[in-house]
Chain A
């Protein structure tokens, strides 16, 4: 079974440009999360989708970030316009809606490394 995939693996853009990151969750996983790690800091939560609905977007830093999950499958995270402080690694994670375990494990993708110059 394929894991969480993210595209691109690395993106280098100039300040003011737009970038769109894509995440394909594990098939059948209705929960989808975005996290990011900026240089020297911890991985921080951005938002959580359940199917196509935003369940929690409390971690979104500002309105330059737009996340979508049309159809409840893959998700995109657009940064427009990008700023220098947006540089970091953006992780996507997914989990099933129901599980037999007491904890709902989140499976992480390899991340997209974003560099804003």
Chain B
């Protein structure tokens, strides 16, 4: 069983739509829950992170973590064509520990 499960998509939405991206995980030691964004031929770039359970909002992006169900979500409001990328959920046990990636969901926002 993979430590992090993520639907690879692809997901295609019209501009302005609300996007919901989700992951599940199995390792109870994970304390930090990151979302990375990766554009084609580029390295992953940290979008936002959440510590433990709860919500975190940053502009049009909201990250949610439910540790009781081991469920991670990222919501994108008013999606823009520039949001077209692969989104990777990536939990970690924290500190300087390795990051464990999901397979990534490829998102395309159609103008």
A residues in contact (CB < 8 Å) with B: 4, 31, 33, 35, 41-45, 48, 50, 55-56, 59, 91, 93, 95, 97, 102-111
CB < 8 Å neighbour of B101 from A42, A56, A107, A110: A42
Knowing A42-B104, A103-B49 are in contact, say whether A48-B43 is a contact too (CB < 8 A).
no
* B4 located at the interface, meaning its Cβ lies under 8 Å from any Cβ of chain A in the complex: yes
Question: For A95, what are the chain B residues with a Cβ–Cβ distance below 8 Å?
Answer: 96
Q: List 22 A-B contacts (CB under 8 A).
A: A31-B96, A35-B99, A42-B4, A42-B102, A42-B104, A43-B88, A43-B101, A43-B104, A44-B101, A45-B99, A48-B98, A56-B98, A59-B98, A91-B44, A93-B43, A102-B51, A103-B32, A107-B46, A108-B45, A109-B43, A111-B42, A111-B43
Chain A nearest CB from B62 CB (Å) reads 18
Provide the bound-state CA to CA distance between A22 and B88, in Å: 24
In contact, A110 and B42 (Cβ under 8 angstroms): yes
Per-residue CB proximity of B64-89 to A under 8 Å, as 1/0? 00000000000000000000000010
Tally of contact residues, B, Cβ under 8 A:
25
B residues in contact (CB < 8 Å) with A: 2, 4, 6, 32, 34, 36, 41-46, 49, 51, 88, 94-96, 98-104
In contact, A45 and B98 (Cβ under 8 angstroms): yes
Provide the bound-state CA to CA distance between A110 and B40, in Å: 10
In contact, B103 and A42 (Cβ under 8 angstroms): yes
Chain A nearest CB from B103 CB (Å) reads 5
